[in-house]
């Protein structure tokens, strides 16, 4: 069975600091997909990024970047020059190519607080 671990329960940083959110996953599949979602205080879940297991290229989108390393089964998320609006709970998720709905599994989330 697959599993997603986000060891950091809560992180607090001061605005403009860089912050990295860790995500470690477990899977036996060779084909799988990794995701990050953001849940701001308003409660909705916002999709941020999707990565497939064959694409280890890191990705940058504005102040956001993602580092996917199969060797360590990690898919970490870095926010550069954090802003107060980045305060949210961030979820990492894993989906395996085999199986059904249960196979879209979320980590427990990391609550990021960016202080002004």
Partner 1 sequence: NAGVMQNPRHLVRRRGQEARLRCSPMKGHSHVYWYRQLPEEGLKFMVYLQKENIIDESGMPKERFSAEFPKEGPSILRIQQVVRGDSAAYFCASSPAGPISGNTIYFGEGSWLTVV
Residue 109 region by backbone torsions, left for phi larger than 0, else alpha for psi between -120 and 50, else beta: left
Binder of partner 1 out of 25, 37, 75, 77 (CB under 8 A):
37
- Helices (H), ranges, the chain: none
- Is residue 47 involved in binding partner 1 (CB under 8 A)? yes
Residue 76: which residues within 8 A CB-CB, separation 6 or more? 20, 21, 22, 23, 66, 67, 69
- In the bound state with partner 1, the residue whose beta carbon lies nearer, of 16 and 50, is 50
What are the DSSP calls for 52-83, one per residue?
ETT----EEETTEEEEEEGGGTEEEEEESS--
Interface with partner 1 by CB under 8 A: which range of 14-22, 56-64, 74-82, 88-96? 88-96
- In the bound state with partner 1, the residue whose beta carbon lies nearer, of 69 and 108, is 108
Number of residues that bind partner 1 (CB under 8 A): 28
- Is residue 57 involved in binding partner 1 (CB under 8 A)? no
**Residues at the site binding partner 1, with contacts judged by CB under 8 A:** 31-33, 35, 37, 43-47, 50, 52, 91, 95-109
């Amino acid at each position: 069975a697959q599993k997603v671990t986000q060891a950091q329960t809560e992180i607090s940083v001061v605005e403009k600091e860089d912050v990295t959110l860790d995500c470690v996953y477990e899977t036996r599949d060779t084909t799988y997909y990794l995701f990050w979602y953001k849940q701001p205080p308003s409660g909705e879940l916002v999709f941020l990024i999707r990565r497939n297991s064959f694409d280890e290229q890191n990705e940058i989108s504005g102040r956001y970047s993602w580092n996917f390393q199969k060797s360590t089964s990690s898919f970490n998320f870095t926010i550069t020059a954090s802003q107060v609006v980045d305060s949210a709970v961030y979820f990492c998720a894993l989906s395996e190519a085999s199986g059904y709905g249960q196979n879209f599994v979320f980590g427990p989330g990391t609550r990021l607080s960016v202080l002004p």
